[in-house]
């Protein structure tokens, strides 16, 4: 199948049709279809979370030349940067750094210190959403590790969908995987993972916006604690953006 972009002949109906055809197929099958349809410009977004590790492992067996990228906010944990290097070595895959729109110093000069503590939506927009949009601008499709059980917004996603905020096809192969299945995959394949997960951090983002969760709390309760914010914005569609 030929990747189509620009005037884009991928209609929502076409994507729904492909999704229906691949329904019930395993994540690896969907990834293999995506490689066939979109390589060499296909890319995988990695946050170095458990889902990203599973997808990198699968892709390393299908097409290790697939572009893997991460959004470097300059505020990730040292453990996350260390994991990046271990994953690259383990899978033999190059991991592309996508920098923020501006340095921390430039951000502080323009918006004041510690923007994340006052306006996390704006901080995420500058350090994640805009860099992502630029990076995806020339690509036909991206792969993400979102799962439906993580947030209400993610529960509305499809395994194959049109990303109208970034104007390309979006693939979410692990959408229906429960947390236990992700970890079972990681352990059964003896894959490396972020050491912070052993210290009470089920979800790891930027240092200023991530804390350990307490017993009984939701797995994402440690992200943007104190704010009514559950998403960084990179998975929002246009309707979600209008609602902000
Ligand atoms: Fe800024 Fe926090 Fe968003 Fe990172 S997670 S970009 S520090 S608001």
**Ligand 1 pocket residue status of 130, Cβ below 6 Å:** no
Percent of the chain with pLDDT over 90: 76
Ligand 1 centroid–CA 208 distance in Å is 7
User: Whose Cα sits closest to atom 3 in ligand 1?
Assistant: 124
Tokens 């916006």 -> residue: 209
> What is the distance between the alpha carbons of residues 104 and 80, in angstroms, rounded to a whole number?
19
User: Whose Cα sits closest to atom 6 in ligand 1?
Assistant: 124
CB 141 within 8 A of CB 44: no
> Choosing from 43, 123, 209, 232, which is the catalytic residue?
232
Instruction: For the chain, list the domains and their CATH numbers.
Output: 12-243 (3.40.50.620)
> What is the distance between the alpha carbons of residues 146 and 89, in angstroms, rounded to a whole number?
24
Q: Global pTM?
A: 0.92
**pLDDT value, residue 16:** 87
Q: Which two tokens stand for residue 105?
A: 């110093």
Q: What are the tens digits of pLDDT across the range 103-126?
A: 999 999 999 999 999 999 999 999
Alpha carbon 64 to its chain centroid, in Å, reads 18
Alpha helices in the chain (DSSP H): 12-22, 27-38, 50-62, 78-91, 104-111, 120-124, 130-136, 152-155, 179-188, 238-243
Residue of 100, 103, 208 to mutate, ligand 1, most atoms within 8 A of C-beta:
208
**Ligand 1 pocket residue status of 100, Cβ below 6 Å:** no
Q: Kindly state the average pLDDT of the residues 174-184.
A: 97
**Ligand 1 pocket residue status of 128, Cβ below 6 Å:** yes
> What is the distance between the alpha carbons of residues 219 and 230, in angstroms, rounded to a whole number?
11
What are the Cα distances from residue 22, in Å, to 17, 18, 33, 185? 9, 6, 9, 21
Q: Is 232 considered catalytic here? A: yes
**Ligand 1 pocket residue status of 208, Cβ below 6 Å:** yes
CB 94 within 8 A of CB 68: yes
B/e letters for 152-170, b = 16+ CB within 10 Å, e = fewer, are ebbeebebbbbbebbebbb
Q: What phi and psi values does residue 44 have, to the nearest 5 degrees? A: -115, 125
**Ligand 1 pocket residue status of 124, Cβ below 6 Å:** yes
Q: What are the tens digits of pLDDT across the range 28-81?
A: 999 999 999 999 999 999 999 999 999 999 999 999 999 999 999 999 999 999
């Amino acid at each position: 199948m030929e990747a189509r972009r620009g005037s884009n002949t991928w209609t929502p109906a076409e994507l729904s049709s492909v999704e229906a055809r691949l329904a019930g197929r395993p994540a690896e099958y969907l990834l293999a279809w995506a490689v066939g349809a979109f390589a060499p410009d296909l890319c995988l977004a990695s946050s170095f979370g458990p889902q990203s590790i599973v997808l990198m492992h699968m892709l390393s067996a299908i097409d290790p030349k697939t572009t893997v990228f991460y959004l470097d906010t300059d505020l990730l944990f040292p453990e996350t940067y260390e994991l990046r290097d271990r994953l690259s070595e383990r899978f033999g895959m190059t991991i592309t750094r996508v920098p923020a729109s501006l340095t921390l110093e430039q951000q502080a000069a323009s918006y004041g210190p510690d923007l994340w503590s006052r306006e996390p939506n704006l901080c995420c927009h500058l350090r994640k959403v805009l860099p992502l949009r630029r990076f995806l601008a020339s690509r036909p499709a991206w792969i993400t590790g979102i799962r439906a059980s993580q947030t209400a917004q993610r529960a509305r996603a499809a395994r194959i969908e049109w990303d109208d905020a970034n104007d390309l096809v979006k693939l979410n192969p692990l959408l229906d995987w429960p947390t236990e299945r992700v970890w079972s995959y990681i352990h059964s394949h003896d894959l490396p993972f972020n050491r912070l997960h052993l210290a009470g951090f089920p979800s790891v983002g930027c240092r200023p916006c991530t804390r350990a969760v307490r017993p009984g709390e939701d797995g994402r309760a440690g992200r943007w604690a104190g704010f009514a914010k559950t998403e960084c914005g990179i998975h929002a569609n246009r309707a979600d953006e209008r609602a902000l």
